[in-house]
Amino acid sequence: MFTGSIVALVTPFKDGEVDYDALAALIEFQITNGTNMILPCGTTGESSTLSHEEHDRVIEFVLEKVARRVPVIAGSGSNSTAEALRLTRHAKDAGADAALLITPYCNKPTQRGLYLHYECIAKEVDIPIIVYNVPGRTGVSISPDTVASLAKIPNIVAIKEASGSLEQVSQIISRCDITVLSGDDSLTFPIMSLGGKGVISVVANILPGPVSQMVTSFLEKDVEGARTLHYELYQMSKILFIETNPIPIKAALAMMGKIREEYRLPMCRMGDENRARLEKILREYELI
């Protein structure tokens, strides 16, 4: 089930509140252009600055608007196991198809602690769980051995790998049969070459069709077609991380007229030099 292009959807804001009209339009843009699954309330969705009430409502709203046309994966991670458990229970109760749980950030648990965190949630909530490894944001990396141990738990079904390490991906795939999804847009093609099955993508927020086509081409064994799209998307994959995600992708969507460029502190607007560089690339891709 967990293959293809999965968009890590932004959360648009308007005057300090979630902009549900813009969110609904983003959902339609994704589905119309071939995105395979939608993931609200991940790190790209600024989940860390959403209140619990907002987090719950965004998940419910996305499920309502998607209306089972594509699967919805709810971001439900936290550095507190109890909080992640509550968010994951809500995701299941709301009707999400799966939950994405980031490794606990800031408190830097040991490998044993990471295992116990995911084991606790998986045993308490009967929903497919995707582990999210992004050490650049959390300060801790889940080891391939820990992933292999977690893969023995029936409802831990996939891992979003955003360590930036192809060695890490190779070791995971060599140890177990868990589904590996790229968490770095620029590495999707290399990760799929190692056995990955798709991407949880930031770039898909603005280029859903090409990202989906690249992944589909690879899965259908059109490796040359996928490689061509990889290089066509590569420049965008790099510029959208010129500042901390989701600052550039929200700036890009705002330039395209799809959302207001609004963040919650400590996220803030891009610097002028980086903004000019982003605008230049968007014009080259004929997005503005």
Reduced to 3 states (helix: H, G, I; strand: E, B; else coil), residue 158 is strand
The kind and range of the H/E element at 122 are helix 111-124
Over residues 22-45, mean pLDDT: 98
Cis before 109? omega within 30: no
pTM flag (> 0.75): yes
**pLDDT, tens digit, for every residue of 95-154?**
999 999 999 999 999 999 999 999 999 999 999 999 999 999 999 999 999 999 999 999
pLDDT of residue 124: 98
In a domain, residue 270? The reply is no
User: Is the four-CA dihedral 19, 72, 40, 3 of positive or negative sign?
Assistant: negative
Catalytic residue among 105, 115, 118, 132: 132
In a domain, residue 267? The reply is no
pLDDT of residue 156 exceeding 80, the answer is yes
In a domain, residue 243? The reply is no
In a domain, residue 145? The reply is yes
Number of domains in the chain: 1
**108 annotated active-site:** no
Reduced to 3 states (helix: H, G, I; strand: E, B; else coil), residue 68 is coil
Find the domain containing 12 and state its range.
Answer: 4-220
Per DSSP, the residues of 210-260 read: HHHHHHHHHHTT-HHHHHHHHHHHHHHHHHTTSSSTTHHHHHHHHHTTSS-
- What average pLDDT does the structure give for the chain? 97
**pLDDT, tens digit, for every residue of 167-185?**
999 999 999 999 999 999 9
In a domain, residue 251? The reply is no
pLDDT of residue 192 exceeding 80, the answer is yes
Could you tell me the CATH number of the domain that includes residue 168?
Answer: 3.20.20.70
In a domain, residue 274? The reply is no
The Cα 253–Cα 212 span in angstroms is 18
- pLDDT category at 207 given cuts 50, 70, 90 is very high
Over residues 279-283, mean pLDDT: 97
In a domain, residue 258? The reply is no
pLDDT of residue 1: 75
**pLDDT, tens digit, for every residue of 34-93?**
999 999 999 999 999 999 999 999 999 999 999 999 999 999 999 999 999 999 999 999
In a domain, residue 268? The reply is no
Catalytic residue among 160, 197, 250, 263: 160
**221 annotated active-site:** no
**pLDDT, tens digit, for every residue of 240-278?**
999 999 999 999 999 999 999 999 999 999 999 999 999
